[in-house]
Amino acid sequence: MIKEIVGPIPRDENFYDRVDLIEHMWGIAEEHDTFLIGPRRFGKSGILCKMYDEPREGFKVIFIDCEKFEDPYEFFTALLVEVLKNRNLSLKIKDCAHSIPLMPEKILSKVKDHISEIELLEIKIGLRESIEKHWKEESVQCIKELDKLVNKSNEKILFLLDEFPSLLKHMIDDGKYLETKLFLEWFRALRLDLNLTNTRFIIAGSRNIHTVYRNIPNQLLEKGEIEKDEIVYFSFNQVFNDFRNVLIEPFDAATAKEFIKELFSSSQITVEDDIINKILELIGSPVPYFIQLLISEIKRYHDGNLTPEIIESIYNERILGPTCRFYFEYYEDRLREYGPINEKGAKMIVAELSKAGSLTKNELYNIFLLSTQSDDSSKFDDLMNDLEMDFYIKFDSDNKYLFLSKILSDWWLRWHPSSTIR
């Protein structure tokens, strides 16, 4: 029975719905690489874990969490370790070890039906030493051999790269600008130049990869790592033009209502339609995470007599109050990654939107001008794109911008009242 999960990745019976979306992604993986796009807390990691836990026939699935990686060596070491943890793949690798320079005998000798945690650590250390010497050339050869291996059994290998944009950001933050460029060139060549017919990648992350990627050229230029005429090599479309975009949407109304019923049922609580409707009214756009957050607080303070008035009181006092503030602080911290100018503009724009409800693009541009003292329209356009990609705002049929999520708008207004800029 499903239970509310606030924080950890929902798996097994706690993963709800997304059947059509996952089916769509398996279909794309037959022929293409994929960006799984969606704001933080929309369930990207849960979807990847579902694909990993229940792989489609004909796929060998490798899941890699890139959140803490800081360089290509860590990334590729983890990739190979996860491959070796897959029993079928590791035994196949052993049979063609002569073709994979990255797999010296001291590593392959540890590959068997079951690899202990100690042996995995030893393998990881040995791989790291091997990879650092010639990672770019030898890793390409390794992926080619893996592609051949799965091709022989008429299968595909699917790499699920969760939090991949964080790896790029960590490399940039650590000053590894040239290394970042080489890594991205390697990743593109790996996919497009080798004709890997049986290898697919799905990339996802809490950070918007477009924003992270856009910052790379300017930082490289500032550090003198590339010349201005080389900036074309960092065109996003050039590096990732083979990827298909898949967007995660909030639940539809019917799914959200059933989800709410099941969350209450897991605690033997029966709720009427007025309670369900009140929850959806307060949350706004039915994002599973926010629904679970509110229901977890309702259950914590439930005394057996739920009414719409009690639900609203819990929402105002608990969800929007100091107790739950840390659940939302990411959305404020995230704006710092937009750069000094756009951070100022972003904070003022979301503050004004939370107060006004909706504003036109011209009104928001004027707010941008006043708050940043910059008339660079391209920066404004990038900012509006980032705010849409990061879950803050949406552009509606009335040609106005408004918050995508009522709960986030309420939280922002609670903790960041707008100024008198307008």
Tokens at residue 32, please? 């293409």
Does residue 84 fall inside a structural domain? yes
- Confidence class of residue 203 from pLDDT cuts 50, 70 and 90? very high
Where are the alpha helices (H) located in 269-393, listed in sequence order? Answer: 273-283, 288-300, 308-314, 329-333, 340-356, 361-372, 377-389
The answer on 154 and 300 residing in a single domain is no
Which domain-ending residue is among 232, 247, 262? 247
The answer on 203 and 156 residing in a single domain is yes
- CATH assignment of the domain containing 220: 3.40.50
pLDDT of residue 104: 55
pTM comes to: 0.84
Which domain-ending residue is among 247, 266, 299? 247
- What does the mean pLDDT of the chain come to? 82
The answer on 216 and 121 residing in a single domain is yes
The answer on 101 and 186 residing in a single domain is yes
The answer on 151 and 61 residing in a single domain is yes
pLDDT in tens, 349-396: 999 999 999 999 999 999 999 999 888 888 898 888 888 877 678 888
Which DSSP helix (H) or strand (E) runs through 236?
helix 236-240
Which domain-ending residue is among 277, 295, 327? 327
Number of H helices, E strands in the chain: 19, 8
The answer on 205 and 82 residing in a single domain is yes
Does residue 9 fall inside a structural domain? no
Which DSSP helix (H) or strand (E) runs through 211?
helix 209-222
Mapped onto helix, strand or coil, the DSSP state of residue 245 is strand
Q: Looking at the predicted structure, is the pLDDT value of residue 327 above 90? A: no
- CATH assignment of the domain containing 340: 1.10.10.10
Domain count, the chain: 3
pLDDT of residue 109: 58
Does residue 7 fall inside a structural domain? no
Instruction: Report how far apart the first and last C-alpha atoms of the chain are (Å, whole number).
Output: 50
Q: Looking at the predicted structure, is the pLDDT value of residue 154 above 80? A: yes
Highest mean pLDDT among 3-12, 177-186, 361-370 belongs to 361-370
Does residue 4 fall inside a structural domain? no
Q: Looking at the predicted structure, is the pLDDT value of residue 316 above 60? A: yes
Does residue 397 fall inside a structural domain? yes
Check if the beta carbon of residue 362 is closer than 8 Å to that of residue 302: no
Which of the pair, 109 or 18, is modelled with greater confidence? 18
pLDDT of residue 210: 72
Check if the beta carbon of residue 27 is closer than 8 Å to that of residue 287: no
pLDDT of residue 278: 96
Q: Looking at the predicted structure, is the pLDDT value of residue 159 above 90? A: yes
pLDDT of residue 139: 77
One-letter amino acid for residue 230 of the chain? E
Q: Looking at the predicted structure, is the pLDDT value of residue 404 above 60? A: yes
The answer on 158 and 52 residing in a single domain is yes
pLDDT of residue 217: 67
Residues 6+ apart with CB under 8 A from 150: 60, 89, 156, 157, 198, 199
Helix axes 340-356, 406-415, angle to 10 degrees: 110
Q: Which is it for the CA torsion 390, 168, 21, 276, positive or negative?
A: negative
Does residue 378 fall inside a structural domain? yes
- Confidence class of residue 114 from pLDDT cuts 50, 70 and 90? low
The answer on 207 and 145 residing in a single domain is yes
Dist. CA 308–CA 276, nearest whole Å: 9
The answer on 72 and 25 residing in a single domain is yes
Q: What is the mean pLDDT of residues 155-175?
A: 88
Check if the beta carbon of residue 35 is closer than 8 Å to that of residue 389: no
Tokens at residue 367, please? 């707010």
- Domain range for residue 267? 253-327
Q: Looking at the predicted structure, is the pLDDT value of residue 419 above 70? A: no
Tokens at residue 334, please? 């995230």
Does residue 306 fall inside a structural domain? yes
**What is the share, in percent, of the chain residues with pLDDT greater than 70?**
82
Q: Are strands 401-403 and 358-359 parallel, antiparallel or unpaired?
A: antiparallel
- Confidence class of residue 81 from pLDDT cuts 50, 70 and 90? confident
Q: What is the mean pLDDT of residues 86-105?
A: 62
Dist. CA 217–CA 227, nearest whole Å: 10
Which DSSP helix (H) or strand (E) runs through 59?
strand 59-65
pLDDT of residue 10: 77
Q: Looking at the predicted structure, is the pLDDT value of residue 222 above 80? A: no
Does residue 13 fall inside a structural domain? no
pLDDT of residue 322: 93
Dist. CA 417–CA 287, nearest whole Å: 24
The answer on 68 and 23 residing in a single domain is yes
The answer on 140 and 49 residing in a single domain is yes
Which of the pair, 83 or 127, is modelled with greater confidence? 83
| Order of strands, sheet of 199-204, starting from the edge strand that comes earlier in the sequence | 59-65, 156-162, 199-204, 33-37, 243-247
Q: Residue 315 half-sphere exposure, CB side, CA atoms within 13 Å? A: 23
The answer on 108 and 25 residing in a single domain is yes
- Confidence class of residue 342 from pLDDT cuts 50, 70 and 90? confident
Q: Looking at the predicted structure, is the pLDDT value of residue 324 above 80? A: yes
- pLDDT-wise least confident of 7-16, 144-153, 200-209, 336-345: 7-16
Q: What is the mean pLDDT of residues 144-158?
A: 86
pLDDT of residue 310: 92
Dist. CA 101–CA 321, nearest whole Å: 57
